[in-house]
Amino acid sequence: MKTISLMLVDDHEVVRTGLKSFLETQAALKVVAEASNGAEAITRALDVKPDVILMDITMPGMDGLEATRQLKALCPECMVLALTVHEDKQYFMKMLAAGASGYLTKQAAAEELISAIHAIAAGHVYLQPALARWLLEDYQRLANHTETRPARPVAGKSSALVSLEILSLRERQVLELVAEGLNNKQIGEQLGLSPKTIARHRERIMSKLNMHSRTELVKFAIRTGLIQLD
């Protein structure tokens, strides 16, 4: 098994000493450098090129956020694991944006720290499960916003065609059948869905297109060529 080289960045010497003592009892881990602030971390990292850097965030002078940004620009192969007291969404998001491959609080179990180091050294991302929910919340909020916001015109395309593109395949199928005059029950029978599900699809379609009646939907379907007039 290849030995993983580590650098410890923390302004508290007692923390670095404790971490080093623990980590070097683990197979295939070796601490090759230490630093007490961000500026020192950059200098040492460029010198020894560690596989994984355990990076504190709050330090005097250059903090861990700025150090991570600069390190990832200068030494992209050096993986950064944020190891911090901050169980805070703002720090969490900023460290990931800066280029960190993982985020762990100092309250995490020792076994979790070892797992995080191995995962990051292998090119994966490791987020403490209790904190990863923040990414999920942001993704869900972004997805909901994308689904409901009005479409913006794109060069070379009519606003109607752009709007059509924000509908899912199922929503387009429902819209086509609505425009052809079928009711929820009839549409449900054709698509193998319940009338209640069809009603929900119609509501989502109207919300996405910012329309409020079947007449508007029919006009939209004609304008986009979704249905053809005889």
Asked which of 78-92, 165-179, 208-222 is least confident by mean pLDDT, the reply is 208-222
Among residues 106, 77, 101, 112, the alpha carbon closest in space to that of 18 is found at 106
CATH code for the domain of 97: 3.40.50.2300
Tell whether 142 is covered by a domain: no
CB 35 within 8 A of CB 63: no
Sign of the C-alpha dihedral computed for residues 17, 19, 24 and 25 taken in this order: positive
Which helix (H) or strand (E) segment holds residue 91: the answer is helix 89-98
- Do 164 and 208 belong together in one domain? yes
Domain count of the fold of the chain: 2
Tell whether 134 is covered by a domain: no
> Rounded to an integer, what distance in angstroms lies between the CA atom of residue 29 and that of residue 182?
66
- Do 8 and 106 belong together in one domain? yes
Using pLDDT thresholds of 50, 70 and 90, give the confidence band for residue 42: very high
Identity (one letter) of the amino acid at 31? V
pLDDT for 137: 61
pLDDT for 158: 45
Domain that holds residue 177: 148-223
Tell whether 140 is covered by a domain: no
Residue in this structure with the two tokens 């508007």, named with its chain if needed: 216
Q: What are phi and psi of 131, to 5 degrees?
A: -100, -20
- Do 21 and 116 belong together in one domain? yes
- Do 40 and 124 belong together in one domain? yes
The pLDDT tens digits for 149-167 are 444 443 443 455 555 778 8
- Do 27 and 119 belong together in one domain? yes
Tell whether 193 is covered by a domain: yes
Q: What is the pTM of this model?
A: 0.59
Tell whether 230 is covered by a domain: no
Tell whether 190 is covered by a domain: yes
